[in-house]
Amino acid sequence: MIFNLSEKDSIGNRFVAELRDVNVQKDRMRFRRNLERLGEILAYEISKTLSYKEIEVETPLGIARTKAPADPVVLATILRAGLPLHQGMLNYFDDAGNAFVSAYRKHHKDGSFEINLEYVSCPTLDDCVLILIDPMLATGASMGMAAKELFNYGKPKKLHFVTAIASTYGLEHIRRLFPRHTYGWAPSMKNLPQNLISCQASATPAT
């Protein structure tokens, strides 16, 4: 299921527009900051899907009861382009663990390419909520391969995919790899195969 954020107006639409604007995107600082802002927005949206537990907080007026996320969160980023988006999510999930994947396309003369993974740094993922971040979901190959590589570090309870710009082709590829319990948040762009999405999938890849 895809949650289309563009059905309701929000400031996030302006941030996406500035990312795509050929004039505004030349401002590298604003480009990075807009990615960070989108990371904050998507972190807030994802927080609504988490499991919560009741906790007690000692205040100057006594003990107050509230709720806090019950499961540990790990933010995983495909280097290096994903760092501003990662930082935005880390601003909200400030106690999250961090994982990093170095992946790149190796192009061949016939126009084809393969995804090479050079480096992975990751804490244990058992029973955590894993959020995999990449600002551009084009074919979905890098994200899919990175997710499968991260599963070597444990079995997360939930897996979310977060991106700033995505093609419909890439989204469908991810949905094929992770067909069960898939959710997304997207400001749709009419007549363009690109959306702002945060896709949540089950932690078990297709076999």
Does any domain span residue 207? no
- Determine, yes or no, domain membership for 14: yes
CATH at 40: 3.40.50.2020
**Residue 83, CA atoms < 13 Å, CB-side half-sphere:** 5
State how far the Cα of 195 lies from the Cα of 102, in Å rounded to an integer.
Answer: 24
Residue 206 lies in a domain: no
Structure confidence at residue 182 (pLDDT): 54
Read off the pLDDT band of 206 (50, 70, 90).
very low
Percent of the chain with pLDDT over 70: 83
Q: Please say if the pLDDT value at position 195 is more than 60.
A: no
Higher pLDDT, 167 or 3: 167
User: Residue 2 has what pLDDT?
Assistant: 61
Q: pLDDT digits over 21-60, tens only?
A: 999 989 999 999 999 999 999 899 899 989 999 999 999 9
Q: Would residue 67 count as lying in a domain?
A: yes
The pLDDT mean for the chain works out to 82
Q: What's the domain count of the chain?
A: 1
- Residue 24: inside a domain: yes
Distance CA 93, CA 106 (A): 33
Amino acid, single-letter form, for residue 9: D
- 124-143, pLDDT tens digit by residue? 999 999 999 988 888 888 88
Domain interval for residue 45 = 2-201
| C-alpha span between 32 and 83 (Å, rounded) | 9
Confidence of residue 205 (pLDDT cuts 50, 70, 90): very low
pLDDT at 98: 97
Residue 175 makes CB contacts below 8 A (sequence gap 6+) with 182, 199, 201
Among the listed ranges 5-14, 83-92, 133-142, 151-160, which one has the minimum average pLDDT value?
A: 5-14
Q: Is residue 85 part of a domain?
A: yes
Return the ∠ at Cα 45 (arms to 182 and 206), rounded to 5°.
15
**pTM summary value:** 0.84
- Residue-wise pLDDT tens digits, 7-24: 678 898 898 889 889 999
Residue 40, token pair as written in the block: 């904050």
Residue 182 lies in a domain: yes
